[in-house]
Amino acid sequence: MLIQRQKITVAMQVVLIIVLIVLGFGVYLNSVNGGFIWDEEFLIKNNLHIKSWENIGIIFGESIGAGAKNNSNFYRPLQMLTYMADYSLWHLNAFGYHLTGIILHILVALVLYWLIKMLFADWALSLLTSALFLVHPIQTETVAYIAARADLLGALFILLCLCLYIRQDSSRNKITFTLILLSYILALLSKEYSLVLPLLIIMHSYIFKKKILKAEFVSVLGITFIYIILRLTLLRFSLPEQDFMHTTTFLQRIPGFFVALTEYYRLLLFPLNLHMEYMFRKFSMVDPRAILGAIALAVLLVYAFKRGEKNKLVSFCILWFFVTLLPQSNLYPVNAYMSEHWLYLPSIGYFLALAYGLLMMHSVKKFRRLAVYLIALILFLYSFLTVKQNYYWKNAIGFWKKTLQYAPSNPRIYNNLCKAYMDIGEYEEAISSCKKAVALKPGYLTARYNLADSYKACGQYENAAVEYKRIIEHNPRQEVAYFELGLLYEKSGDKEKAMDSYHKAIEIDHSYVEAYNNLASIYAEKGQTDKAIGLWEKTVGIRPDFATGHFNLAVFYFRQKKYDLAIYHCDKVIDSGNQVDPEFLGLLGPYRKKNVNRP
């Protein structure tokens, strides 16, 4: 039962909103100095699509990794659009991306304040729920990890859509109707879990005994149907390899779901030892955490349905938690058995229940002072832990080292640590990390490539060659490994082996222009100019903007006194934005004056 509170003025409402905004910036301000970590490499740093507004159409037709040639089945164009906006303002300064994340988190909290106030007409409950949501350290993974922005956007538009739907119950306004549908579309374009919205509408109708708004609900279902059809057809992208996902059945994943529930309860109650990467794991139903999770689920659901009439708020908290968690429960295979940022939307149920309990204590006169102290203590502790947890996301090396404390047998973490060391030129440390990755998983080709590249970077060419050969042993269709071997053979003076490696790279990938170019250079050294020119012509035929191919053709056509062709290919180099040796341009100068016909 809620306590009836005196209504507050508009001015007071504004003050409360300012308090929430200040609180949000206060706990996350130290996160703005963090760098780019993990998936942010391909989502932002190496993603060509976000670096020009001309690519807006492309990001609405491709997966999130397409701009960096990274396989992904995630379709989240609104997330990529916000990165595009950030890049236009900040380029690759991570400060701006983190600032956007903080602003979005605060906006979610403000919309949550509106939703709770509409549902329960209690400003104190709305304020405390939103404040707990803002400062709880479980949210740091969503806010401080730029790649988790989809969760921020999805939550924002789901909550906004629900607010508009509830408001529409009394207004029946056409503009509100349009905004409901627009919010839902934006939610779907942010993250796939937004498909849960129809269930939330049904849940709201069940708990609060409200008739479902037929026109709005049918329209939402129509959008849902269209989205699903598009995702199964035009917007179905290639999936990255996920061995765990493909080798586990629904029944095998159920124990993991119950284990995750127990872990989620623990993290919400005692938010300590927070970290990324919970790995792919199989669990047994005899695991104590699976048993506890199953019992808790059963008890909570029975209470929600049996006692919902008497306490709508608690029923709402319970059902909200499980309904919003469902899309990311791993019952349908996702990329881990649990993840902290998957709690971003479900955690609202916990914060609402906690706020309700604290305010009920405050309503009892003899516990009022204790309740105030307890509220202040909880907000302080959560804020302190959040500020501390933000440092976990500060830089890549510190991040991976700490993550290894919780996942010491995960080869992917060692590989990522290796890459972080490579980025700052600490190749000995990179080699050590990559060796651990391939020891744990010998067929981990990405780690072997990084190990080989690290060897090469510090001059250990023989060890690099060994690793490239091991890559080929694991998978003979690795054109990059053959190409890199060719480079190493050239460096050692073995031109024949280099040519053989380049030929094998080309056999696997007929469009490998770098391999054609290097092969042509060897033919040119051998005096087989016609073969070399033929290969260079092939490179610019495959990739018309391949400046190296055009320049080599310009040089060799000049030597053959085919000045028109030399000038043509030299101009192509200039058109591509690359500089040409001024001495060579000087040699071409006299022939330009003759107004030679261009092909």
Q: Is the dihedral of CA 40, 43, 47, 49 positive or negative?
A: negative
Helices 563-575 and 582-592 sit at what angle, rounded to 10 degrees?
A: 130
Taking every pair of Cα atoms in the chain, the longest distance, rounded to a whole number of angstroms, is 102
Q: Which long-range contacts (CB under 8 A, 24 or more apart) does 452-458 make?
A: 452/481, 452/484, 453/422, 454/418, 454/421, 454/422, 454/427, 454/430, 455/431, 456/484, 456/488, 457/422, 457/425, 457/427, 458/427, 458/428, 458/431
Q: Tell me what pLDDT residue 50 has.
A: 93
d(CA 387, CA 32): 11
Q: What are the φ and ψ backbone dihedral angles of 114, each rounded to 5 degrees?
A: -60, -45
Q: What are 304's two structure tokens?
A: 């929600």
Residues 6+ apart with CB under 8 A from 583: none
Tens of pLDDT, residues 134-147: 999 999 999 999 99
Buried/exposed 564-596: b ≥16 CB within 10 Å, e otherwise:
ebbbbbbbbbeeeeeebeeebeeebeeeeeeee
CA angle, 43 then 44 then 47, to 5° = 75
Q: What is the predicted pLDDT for the residue at 270?
A: 94
Taking residue 251's Cβ as centre, other Cβ atoms within 10 Å add up to 8
Rounded-to-integer distance, Cα 140 and Cα 154, Å: 16
Residues in the chain: 599
Torsion angles phi and psi, residue 51, rounded to 5: -95, 10
Nearest-angstrom CA–CA distance, 183 and 177: 10
Amino acid identity, position 124: A
Residue burial 141-175, b: 16+ Cβ < 10 Å; e: rest? bbbbbbbbbbbbbbbbbbbbbbbbbbebbeeeeee
Compute mean pLDDT per 10 residues along the chain, 599 residues long, and list them: 67 91 95 89 90 92 87 90 96 94 97 95 94 97 95 97 88 87 97 95 93 93 95 77 59 90 95 86 90 94 84 94 91 83 96 95 91 95 96 90 90 92 92 94 92 92 93 92 93 92 93 92 91 91 89 86 84 76 69 50
Q: What's residue 236's pLDDT? A: 83
Q: Is the Cα torsion angle 184, 188, 190, 193 positive or negative in sign?
A: positive
Structure tokens at 44: 């932002």
Q: Using one digit for the tens of pLDDT, what is the confidence trace for 242-284?
A: 544 446 788 888 999 999 999 999 999 999 999 988 877 788 9
pLDDT digit string (tens) for 91-145?
999 999 999 999 999 999 999 999 999 999 899 999 999 999 999 999 999 999 9
**Contact, 358 vs 375, CB < 8 A?**
yes
CA distances to 48, 64, 65, 399, 508 from 80, in Å: 11, 7, 10, 24, 33
Kind and range of the H or E run holding 214: helix 214-232
- Helix/strand/coil for 5: coil
Q: What pLDDT is attached to residue 395?
A: 87
Cβ count within 10 A of residue 19: 13
Mean pLDDT of the chain: 89
Task: Return d(Cα 460, Cα 462) in angstroms, integer.
Answer: 6
Neighbours of 241 (CB within 10 A): 7
Cα 285 to Cα 16, 301, 302, 352, distances in angstroms: 46, 20, 21, 31
Backbone region of residue 62 per phi and psi (left: phi > 0; alpha: psi in -120 to 50; beta: other values): beta
Structure tokens at 316: 């709402």
Taking the model in full, what pTM does it have?
A: 0.87
